[in-house]
Structure 1
């Protein structure tokens, strides 16, 4: 019975963490929003223990900040934070895709490539329709599955965390922008095509374009602020 209770609590913990993360990425919990364990527990109708654990998990992922006396708040990332994320992402992603095209994917990845391609197609459709929340979901899955083809969970987990933080920074700005699509990258299909062909030069070009797109978009925010 004790084991069953632990499984239930851990499931609740993941569900609550996922739900709150989605609220942050959808912009419904904007940066600076404060709440307590008690408030979240009452909102979801659950006990405080899995809520506290979920909030600690999100704080460890960098999405929340903990205040001993006031509970938790949604982290407000700065432009410098975002540029740092892009730099870290650039260094790691470049190495990942160089390995993918030079050494090939991990064994048994044929079906996973098909899945990644589906994520790419859905992400591109979301960009075309301007469906930001749908795009975020497919974009995160696309990059997680694509980086997972290398077969190193430490790398894919690290990149997923950075990408979630990038979206957490970007969403409020994208929603306030007069032209949403100007801030969205849509090269998912081209990238998976290049990876499938093993075209190292094209992969490097697309990855560079992806990261440069983020930096160029950040520069427009700097200009607007100025």
Structure 2
């Protein structure tokens, strides 16, 4: 994050978000390991910025469940268990089932047969194609980026910004949990879910049963994989 220290052109709130995004990416990339501890001072020195926006960014990430705060020792990367992951999947399912129902059975801009929604779904599908290519290739870093963007854009069609934000946070937490295990696998080809375009196609043809089945299969696959890797 070059040029963030003392430029005056970057507001504190912008800097706070940049630091939070950078640290989140460090966790997702596995460069910050589960249980790893660090202080505000260490992060401030690493990025060449003052302590205040760093502290605010770390508090934000703690509120999102990615970090644990210790009043005397600083912060550490949260360690998720398979039980945590199961809870995330259950919460995600509640949101996506409602979202798909409204896209298919709702009215106005929420309906999947609205031309504007169909056009937006085409854009989401392109993101899904990139995610699928990364999944098939076993490229976890590329997959995470496109997968998060895919679900963010898909959930935006639902029209409820609060639920879209909640789902995004759940998916970030899910990825933080899964990368703790997936980073131990040398070759991820064949491990990663790649049903993104199938899901969009089911929504575009207004088939809620197919959409539900695709996501259910995805969740079962992910949970079984994490539980197996955790057991190993």
Fold equivalence (TM over 0.5): yes
* Mapped contact 1:13–1:54 kept (Cα < 8 A): yes
* Mapped contact 1:83–1:215 kept (Cα < 8 A): yes
1:185 corresponds to which residue?
Answer: 193
Unaligned runs of 5+ in 1: none
2:45 corresponds to which residue?
Answer: 42
* Pairs aligned (count): 220
Match of 2:170 among 162, 178, 184: 162
- Supply the distance in 2 between the matched residues of 1:14 and 1:112 (Cα, whole angstroms): 27
Stretch moving more, 132-141 or 95-104? 95-104
Match of 1:95 among 75, 98, 105: 98
Do structure 1's residue 131 and structure 2's residue 139 form an aligned pair? yes
Residues 176-225 of structure 1: CA distance to partner in whole angstroms, max 9, x if unpaired? 12552343110001001111111222112112112111222233235x34
- Supply the distance in 2 between the matched residues of 1:131 and 1:178 (Cα, whole angstroms): 11
Residues 117-139 of structure 1: CA distance to partner in whole angstroms, max 9, x if unpaired? 12101100101211100100000
Stretch moving more, 180-189 or 138-147? 180-189
Match of 1:122 among 125, 130, 135: 130
* Mapped contact 1:120–1:188 kept (Cα < 8 A): yes
Deviation at residue 109 of structure 1 after TM alignment = 3.4
Do structure 1's residue 57 and structure 2's residue 65 form an aligned pair? no
Do structure 1's residue 21 and structure 2's residue 29 form an aligned pair? no
Secondary structure of the structure 2 residue equivalent to 1:180: coil
With normalisation by structure 2, the TM-score equals 0.89
1:171 corresponds to which residue?
Answer: 179
Secondary structure of the structure 2 residue equivalent to 1:158: helix
Secondary structure of the structure 2 residue equivalent to 1:55: helix
Secondary structure of the structure 2 residue equivalent to 1:183: coil
RMSD after superposition? 1.8
Do structure 1's residue 151 and structure 2's residue 159 form an aligned pair? yes
Higher normalized helix content (fraction of residues):
1
Match of 1:217 among 202, 216, 225: 225
Change beyond 3 A, Cα 1:50–1:36:
same
* Mapped contact 2:82–2:227 kept (Cα < 8 A): no
1:8 corresponds to which residue?
Answer: 11
Change beyond 3 A, Cα 1:6–1:153:
farther
Where has structure 1 moved over 4 Å in runs of 4 or more? none
